[in-house]
Amino acid sequence: MAYGEFVIQRNLDFTVNEGDVFIIMGGSGCGKSTLLKHMIGLMKPAHGDVVLHDKSLWQCSPEQRETLMRRIGVLYQSSALFSSLTLAENVALPLGEFTRYTASEIRDIASYKLALVGLAGFEDYYPAEISGGMQKRAGLARAIALDPEILFFDEPSSGLDPVSSRLLDDLIISLRDILGTTIVLVTHELASLFAIGTNSVFLDSESKTMLATGSPHTLLAESRDPRIQQFLTRGEYHA
């Protein structure tokens, strides 16, 4: 991954398995969000490829890439809701764009998706009228509008208090189990990555490559790399 001649990360090689809660982790500036952009097709790798179910995101036609990308949903760090639209209208956007449902059916689906994230009855509220935690959930409702196979989250707990953060973690696991969705999550929150992470990749800004992949609990128990141990113990590790 690179911006022009400036390399962010190199030699990345990892697999997200179906049903994973896959954590992208590492210190500030290591390229976590940049990696997420590559995985969802917003940035093309300077070298290499991203493969979804044996299909390349970058060695296929633009039409095929668009079809592949409809199989994923994204919750951005800021929720990225349209402030001029109600919550139901925000959720309805991808449904109106990519399906042939009637307006009535779209309204019903939007209400159902909002109910799944605990926002039943808030269809006609605007983003400015609800809390930050509720905005995250509304963004999540929009991310699952098209029943994606993979859900991507960029720092979902950013800006949330500890209780709201834990509730969001619980919601993520619930949606994975209800919808059968694979989760890919960028986070530096230790409580979240240990509570819900089943697999991970650890990026390092100094060496500009991945140091390890595997369950966060396994990395904590078995890795002898001080950089990983320092991160996973909040700097309390001593060799």
- Per-residue pLDDT reduced to its tens digit, 218-236: 999 999 999 999 999 986 5
> What confidence category does residue 175 fall into, taking pLDDT thresholds of 50, 70 and 90?
confident
> Does residue 158 share a domain with residue 51?
yes
Q: pTM for the whole thing?
A: 0.89
> Does residue 87 share a domain with residue 128?
yes
Specify if 239 maps to a domain. Answer: no
> Does residue 67 share a domain with residue 154?
yes
> Does residue 204 share a domain with residue 131?
no
Specify if 78 maps to a domain. Answer: no
Specify if 192 maps to a domain. Answer: yes
34 contact partners, CB below 8 Å, separation of at least 6 = 1, 8, 9, 43
> Does residue 109 share a domain with residue 57?
no
> Does residue 27 share a domain with residue 16?
yes
> What confidence category does residue 18 fall into, taking pLDDT thresholds of 50, 70 and 90?
very high
Specify if 238 maps to a domain. Answer: no
Domain end among 119, 145, 171: 145
Specify if 177 maps to a domain. Answer: yes
> Does residue 156 share a domain with residue 56?
yes
Residue 235's pLDDT is what?
A: 61
How many domains, in total, are found in the chain? 2
Give the domain range for residue 131. 83-145
> Does residue 66 share a domain with residue 162?
yes
Model confidence at 189: pLDDT above 90 = no
Mean pLDDT across 21-32: 93
Mean pLDDT across 61-80: 85
> Does residue 172 share a domain with residue 133?
no
Q: Whose CA is closest to 119, among 168, 186, 191?
A: 168
Average pLDDT for the chain: 91
Residue 213 CB burial class (10 angstroms; 0-12, 13-18, ≥19) = middle
Model confidence at 61: pLDDT above 90 = no
Residue 65's pLDDT is what?
A: 85
**Residue 53 C-beta-side C-alpha neighbours within 13 Å:** 10
The residue type of 104 is S
Mean pLDDT across 61-68: 86
CATH of the domain at 221: 3.40.50.300
Segments of the chain assigned E as strands: 2-3, 6-7, 21-26, 51-52, 55-56, 72-75, 150-154, 182-186, 199-204, 209-213
The residue type of 60 is C
β-strands 150-154, 182-186: how paired? Answer: parallel
Specify if 219 maps to a domain. Answer: yes
Mean pLDDT across 169-190: 90
> Does residue 183 share a domain with residue 130?
no
Report, in angstroms and rounded to the nearest whole number, the Rg of the chain calculated over CA atoms.
18
Distance of CA 28 to the CA centre of its chain: 17
Specify if 237 maps to a domain. Answer: no
Determine the number of helices (DSSP H) and then strands (DSSP E) in the chain: 9, 10
> Does residue 167 share a domain with residue 116?
no
CA gap 69, 40 in Å, rounded: 7
Residue 238's pLDDT is what?
A: 47
> Does residue 212 share a domain with residue 100?
no
Q: What is the pLDDT of residues 93-134, one digit of tens each?
A: 999 988 899 999 999 999 999 999 999 999 999 999 998 889
Domain end among 107, 125, 145: 145
Number of CB atoms found within 10 A of residue 121's CB = 9
Specify if 43 maps to a domain. Answer: yes
CA gap 82, 94 in Å, rounded: 13
Asked whether the beta carbons of 152 and 75 are under 8 A apart, the reply is yes
